[in-house]
Amino acid sequence: MKLEIYNMAGHLIRRLNQITGSVFYIRMHEHGLDLTSVQFAALSAISARPGIDQARLAGLIAYDRATITGVLDRLEAKGYVKRQVSKRDRRQREIHLTDAGRDVIAAIIPTVRMLQNEILLGLTEEERKTFLALARKAADAANYLSRAPLVFDDTQDKSET
């Protein structure tokens, strides 16, 4: 007997999130890295926006502002990022990748791109495109319901996501 939840969006999204986390962990382990998908998202955003502050980074990757500090603490401990007081606003800290951070991003980007197909096994290329378009549409429409909504900064075009 199949359970009703097997056809519920929330359950299926949670399952895909579990699968994504597992595949990401395995692929990073193969690179000899202890890196989470949130840490990758942060590194990727910092790479694209050098000097970004913590609040903007949290919004850009749809992560809770209260816990982004811990993510950055771990990335700094690994030697991937450095934080410095902003020259424009002494209350803010700018975040930059270190050489090691730039190296790790360059090394894993191809793997992260490849694992996107791995987490959607069973879908054709056309189905993947459709799935991503529909998932983006649903996420954008319900963004305001999130505890950590995605916040586009003024240097980012929505079409990039």
CA 157 – CA 38 distance, rounded (Å) = 21
16 neighbors 23 (Cβ within 8 angstroms): no
- Phi/psi for 97 (5° steps) reads -75, 145
pTM of the entire structure?
A: 0.88
pLDDT-derived band at 159 (thresholds 50, 70, 90) equals: very low
Q: How far is CA 73 from CA 42, 64, 102, 126, 136, in A?
A: 12, 15, 17, 40, 30
- Say what the pLDDT of residue 155 is: 55
Q: What is the mean pLDDT of residues 142-152?
A: 92
CA 46 – CA 34 distance, rounded (Å) = 18
User: Was domain 4-144 assigned CATH 3.30.565.10?
Assistant: no
Q: In this predicted model, what pLDDT tens digit does every residue of 39-50 receive, in sequence order?
A: 999 999 999 999
Helix (H) / strand (E) element for 93: namely: strand 93-97
Q: In this predicted model, what pLDDT tens digit does every residue of 3-54 receive, in sequence order?
A: 999 999 999 999 999 999 999 999 999 999 999 999 999 999 999 999 999 9
